[in-house]
Structures are given as C-alpha cells and as structure tokens.
Amino acid sequence: MDFELSDQQAAFRDLLRDFARRRIAPVAREWELSGRYPTEIIDEMKQMGLFGMLVPEEFGGIGIDAVSYAIVFEELAKAWMGVAGILGSHSLSTWMLAKHGTAEQRRRWLPDLATGKRRSGLALTEPGAGSDLQGISTVAHRAGHHYIVNGGKTWITNARHADPLPVLVKTNPEAQPRHRGMTVLMIEQGTPGFTVGKDLDKLGYKGPESSEVFLNDCPVPVENVLGAEEGQGLQQVLAALEFGRVNIAGRAVGIAQACLDKSIVYARERHAFGRPIAEFQAIQLKLADMATEVQSARLLTWWAASALDSGRRADVETGMAKLYASEICIKAALEAMRIHGGYGYSTEFEIERLYRDAPLMAIAEGTNDILRTVIARHLVRDGRA
C-alpha cells in the first residue's frame, strides 16, 4: 500500500502548483470581485494541454490518470476555484465523448476540444429537476433525420462557449423505467432555436458563467446522438458524474488547504496580548484539526481516484470522497474565518472568497444527502463497505 504520488504525478503537481501561484493567485481576488472573465488564464491552460486532460492521446489529448486529475483541481482551486470550474464541466464532456461517442463523433470533436479551440460543458439541471435527473422535462421528438428539442436547462457552466454542448433529453417520455427514454444530444453552437439566457448571479463560484439555456424547436441531427443509440443517456451521464465527484473532491481539498495555509500565516503574524495568536491553545487546536482533516480528505480523494483508475465502478469510493472532502471544506472555511476574526470578513483578504466558494462543493455533482443515500444503499445491498 503506497500513499505517495509517483514521480510523474509529483512532477505534474509541481507544474500545476507553480502555474497557479504565478498566474492565478496574484489576480484571483481582484478579478473575482470585479466579475472579470479569466481569458488570459484560460489561454495558458490551453497551452498546457489541460483542456485535453481526459482526451486520449490519439486525439491530441494528454489522457492523464484519475489521481492526476484530482491534483489538477486541488492546485487550481487553492488559487481560484472558479477557474477550476471552467475545466470541470469541459473535462466531463470530453470524458463522455471519448468513452461513449462513436468513432466519427470522436474524430469530429475531440481534437479541437483537446486543444481548447472548442469548449464544452454539461447540460443536465433544469428548474424542476436537479438531483432527480429522471424528472427532466426537456423532450426531443424524432422527425426524419433530426430530433426537434424543446425545453430548458439552468446553472450550465461554459454555456456561452460550449460547442458542442451535451444535453440530456427525453426521447421517449413514456418509457418505463424512465431512464430507458433518456438520451444525450450533442448540440452545436448556431443551431436554430438554441439560445443562452442570462448569467445567474451567485454567492461564489465567480469567473465562469452559470447560465440558462433555452431550446425552442431546436433541430439536432440524428448523428449527434451520443453513441448513436437512444436510451443510453442517463447511464452515460451518471458514469461521468461518478468521475466528476473526483474533481469536486479535489476542488474541496484545494479550498480547505488554502484556508489552512492562510490561517497558519495569519496566526504567526497576528499578535494579541503581546504574542502571536499561534501560541494560544485555542488557535492551535483549530489548526491541528484542520490539517488532519484536510490530509484525510486528500487521501480519501486519491483512494477514490485510484479506484477509477482500476477500471471498475466506484460509486461508493467517489461518493465518500466528495461527501467528506466537501464537508471538511465548509468546516475549514468557517474555522479560517474565526481565526482571522474581522479580517476574515473583509474582501481585502482571501478568506471571505474561500468561504463563499466552499458551499458549492456540497451541492455539485450530487448533493451530499443524495450521496449519503447512494453510499447507504451499497452498504445495505452488499453488507459491507
């Protein structure tokens, strides 16, 4: 049992850490507060090949392992979680396409997606359907060589840049069980009837847009069915979300580590009653708990990623990692604010941004309560962890 990164993984982590420290951290606070889109950072991520993280090398990607994938999101989120989110949705889309797309679909889209010339996202959530994806109401009816799509999606990251955008629809609303009537359509920019609505205001997760998407008699060619077979959409999406929990867990670890790092620095510098507050036991206890919990979350995330790398289903492992890491992330953000006192509440310090970003980790890629039920079902079914 080896809890250490390989030499290649460690070198990749150092590369990402250096990039985040040099290019993201110095501008994160100012750009986040002003609502500035991180175009320059995205251009550098393209040059580093990060848009092709999960694209096979034959299509121009770098095809990294799941542990390295988690590391990418930890290191980026330590500097600015919003930037990590731009890669999150895109990478899941490329993973689905590489895993489930036809040979023609992979040749058609993956090379440009690998370089970032094209970007993508994942259009699942609707105003009336989030955790219950089988409850979506967006429908697509076959009409000759096209599907005519009607409906709407919300909270879609990269919506304004996605080309193509995988959209989960119902091609047979009467199917039983419901998942047999669900299909993923790859909808390209410029398709008539496909429009992106307003960007939604958010507490945190600034940087990438989170938008509404409207589909009004939108014609999508039959050859844009992911995998060329109807009724496979929910399985394709759930498999992607299983992988996506690793990126959310990685982001949560990154935010929590940033909270710890900044709290240690502040506790050394801040004096009260004639000495650094780091010398007070109350602060030491907080730092010790934070450090222990962050490292536990990191190892749990790597364990889950390793399970994915083995090629088997890892619902329990990824569910546990995302659940624990996100809860620790929220706790670490609150403790960091307590350590910083009034300064933690100020936009002049990074803590308030980390505090605003943390709650999303408990919501994205399956809410934590949903994941608890997933884990519990496996425990009851299998009789063991």
| SS3 assignment, position 204 | coil
Q: Residue count of the chain, please give it.
A: 385
Domains of the chain and any CATH numbers: 7-115 (1.10.540.10), 133-231 (2.40.110.10), 235-382 (1.20.140.10)
What CA–CA distances, in Å, run from 224 to 185, 271, 364?
Answer: 6, 62, 27
Dihedral sign from CA coordinates of 39, 187, 218, 126: negative
pLDDT of residue 385: 61
pLDDT of residue 382: 81
Instruction: Give the span between the Cα atoms of 115 and 305, in whole angstroms.
Output: 24
| pTM (2 d.p.) | 0.95
Digit-coded pLDDT (tens) for 295-319: 999 999 999 999 999 988 899 999 9
Digit-coded pLDDT (tens) for 109-151: 999 999 999 999 999 999 988 888 999 999 999 999 999 999 9
Q: Is the pLDDT of residue 383 over 80?
A: no
Query: Active-site positions?
Result: 365
Q: How many other CB atoms sit within 10 Å of the CB of residue 231?
A: 16
**Which residue intervals of 270-358 are DSSP H helices?**
281-309, 315-340, 351-357
Q: Nearest-CA neighbor of 189 among 222, 154, 224?
A: 224
Instruction: Give the span between the Cα atoms of 226 and 215, in whole angstroms.
Output: 18
Considering only 35-49, 128-142, 147-161, which range has the smallest mean pLDDT? 128-142
Q: How confident is the model at residue 87 (pLDDT cuts 50, 70, 90)?
A: very high
Note whether 365 and 248 are within 8 A (CB): yes
What CA–CA distances, in Å, run from 212 to 124, 131, 194, 200, 289?
Answer: 11, 17, 11, 8, 40
